[in-house]
Amino acid sequence: MCDSGSKAAGPNACGLGVFVPPTVPSGKFGLVKTMDGKLREDLSFDSRIGEKYALIERKGGHNLKVGDKVEIVPLHCCGTVSLHDDLYCVRNDQVEGVWPIAARGKFS
C-alpha cells in the first residue's frame, strides 16, 4: 500500500504513445522508482483503489518495507494536475523548474 492515490498520480491507465518498459504489465497506472533513481520494473503502481491510497504490486512477492520511500511516475495525470499548486519539472533526477498550475481550483 502507498500513501499516494488517484488524486496525486491519476486514476487512468497509460494509453498510446506512453513508454512503458515491457516488464510492466499493461493497464497499470504508474511506474515505481527507488529514491536513488532506479526504475523498479518488477513493481507497478495501481491508483484505482482510492484517492489517497494505492497499491504497489510486485511480480512474485513484495520486498518493500513499511516506511520505504519510492518515487511514483504517473503514466497519465491529466485529471490530477489541477488538484495541485505546482508542477515540478524533473530531468535526470534534478528539478529544473517549478510551474504554477493556473487551473488550480478552477473546477466548476
Q: Determine, yes or no, domain membership for 49.
A: yes
Separation of alpha carbons 6 and 45, rounded Å: 11
pLDDT in tens, 41-90: 788 777 777 777 677 777 766 677 888 888 887 776 676 777 788 988 88
Indicate the number of domains in the chain. 1
Separation of alpha carbons 87 and 16, rounded Å: 23
Q: Determine, yes or no, domain membership for 98.
A: no
pLDDT in tens, 11-35: 665 554 455 556 555 556 777 888 8
Q: Give the confidence band of 98 by pLDDT, cuts at 50, 70, 90.
A: very high
Q: Determine, yes or no, domain membership for 87.
A: no
Q: Determine, yes or no, domain membership for 11.
A: yes
Q: Determine, yes or no, domain membership for 86.
A: no
Separation of alpha carbons 31 and 82, rounded Å: 21
Q: Give the confidence band of 99 by pLDDT, cuts at 50, 70, 90.
A: very high
> Which residues span the domain enclosing 57?
6-79
Q: Determine, yes or no, domain membership for 47.
A: yes
Q: Determine, yes or no, domain membership for 96.
A: no
Q: Determine, yes or no, domain membership for 107.
A: no
